[in-house]
Structure 1
Amino acid sequence: MAELATRLGVSASSIYHHFSGRTAIVEALRARMATAIDPLPLDGSDWGEQVGRWMRGYRRALAEHPALIPLLNEQTMTAGPVLHAYERIAILLRRTGVPVREVVLWIGVLDCYALGAALDLAAPDEVWRLERDDLPTLGDAISAAPRGRDRADEAFGLGLDALLTGLRTRLAAG
C-alpha cells in the first residue's frame, strides 16, 4: 500500500479510507476493466461471432494493463460487472448447447486464451532471433511471419478461429 500511496501522491491511510485492502483494490481494477468490454448482445446472432467480438474486446482491455494480468489470477473474482459478463457468456454457451458441466470449463479456456493473447501484445516486435544455422525450418517460418502487432493480431485470430471451430465440432458430435 505504501508504494501505491507514494505513486498516487497520497497517504496509505487515505487509500484505506476507500478500500479495505489489496484484494478490494484489485477487484475495483477488475470491475473498471470490465466496463471497457462491450457486453455480449444475446440477440440471437451467431454465437461464434458474439464470442469473437467479446474476446477481441476482452483482449484489448487486458492489453491496456498487462501488469494487472498476474494480479487478476491471484484471487477469487467477486467484481459484479465481471460476474455479470460471465453470466452472459454462460447464457450464450448454454443456448448454444454446451453442457452445464462444461460451461465454466469453456469460460476458463476463453479466459486463458484472452489473458495469454493480451500478454502477447506486450511482446517485442522481434519475438524470436536466430543467430545460428541449425534451425532452418524455424528460421524460414520466422522470416515468413508478420512481426509486431500484425503477428500478435494474426496469431490471436488464428487461435480464436481454432477455439470456436473446436467448440462447434464438439457440439456437433454431441
Structure 2
Amino acid sequence: MPRPRSTLLSIERIVEAALKLVDESGDFSFPRIARELGVSQSSLYNRIESREHIVELLRAHLFSSLPSESVADKSWQDAARTLIRSYRDRFAQHPHLVPLLVTQTVQAPEVIGMYEDLALTLERAGLPAERIGAAISTIDYFALGAALDASAPAEVWHVSEDQFPALTRAVAGSAAAPNRVADAFEFGLEILISGIETQVKQKVN
C-alpha cells in the first residue's frame, strides 16, 4: 500500500510552496500552502511554528540559493561592491518577498553572516563604529529598493514635455543607457562608496 502523501512533507517543500505563492500573489497563508501541497493544514503545524517562522525560512532560502563570493582578499571598496550586488541579486529573484521580510527581525544565520561581512568591511574602511549601523541600514534601503526596481515596468515615467521638461530630458537621457535598472544600480552603488569614503575622511580630519 502506498504511503500517504503527507508523509513526504518537509520544511523544504513548505518553503518552496510558500515562495511560489508569494511570487504569484505577494503573500502566503497556511491554508493556501496546504492546498498547494495537497496536505492537511494541521500537518504543516507539525513542522512549522508560525507564519513568522516561514518568513524567516524564506529569508534563509534566498541567501542559500546563490553561492557566496569571498571578499577577504579585496579592497574594502570592492568587498562592499561585491556584498551589495550579491544582496540585491538575491532579493531581485523574488521582489514580492521584500515587503514580508522587512516587517520582522532578521534571525537567519545565513543572512546575519552577510551583515557580519558588511560590518567587517565597513570597519576595515575606517568608518567610525557609531556610523556603521546607519551605513548598513542605508545599504538595506538601497539594495531592497534596487531589487524592487528590477520588477518595474519598462516605462517608469509617462511624462509630458510641455508640463515636465526637465524630467522629459532626464528620461530621454536614461533611454540611451543599455539597461536602466543596472545603470541606476551601479550609479547608486558608486554614490554609496563615495559617501562612505567621505565619512572616513571626515573622521580622519
In structure 1, C-alpha distance between the alignment counterparts of 2:86 and 2:68, rounded to whole Å:
9
Please point out which of 182, 192, 196 is paired with 1:153: 182
Q: Does 1:109 align with 2:138?
A: yes
The question of whether the paired residues in 2 share the 8 Å contact of 1:37 and 1:54 is answered with no
Confirm or deny: 8 A CA contact 2:83 2:114 kept in the other structure: no
- Structure 1-normalised TM-score? 0.91
Equivalent positions of 1:87-126 (< 5 A) are 87-126=116-155
Call closer, same or farther: CA 1:160–1:69 in 2, change over 3 Å.
same
- Distance in 1 (alpha carbons) for counterparts of 2:153 and 2:49: 37
Q: Under a length normalisation based on structure 2, what TM-score does the superposition of the two structures give? A: 0.78
Q: Which runs of 5+ in 2 are unaligned?
A: 1-29
- Structure 1 counterpart SS, 2:95: coil
Once the two structures are overlaid, the 10-residue window that deviates more, 34-43 or 119-128, is: 34-43
Contact 2:72 2:79 in 1 (8 A): no
Question: Which amino acid counterpart does residue 137 of structure 1 have in structure 2?
Answer: A
Per the TM alignment, residue 26 of structure 1 is displaced from its structure 2 partner at its CA by: 0.5
Residue identity over aligned pairs, in percent, reads 36
Structure 2 CA distance for aligned equivalents of residues 149 and 10 of structure 1: 47
Unpaired runs of 5+ residues, structure 1, are none
The answer to whether the Cα contact below 8 Å between 1:66 and 1:118 also exists between their aligned partners in 2 is yes
Count of equivalent residues: 174
Deviation at 1:54, TM superposition (A): 1.4
Structural RMSD (CA): 1.9
Separation of aligned partners in 2, 1:49 and 1:159: 15
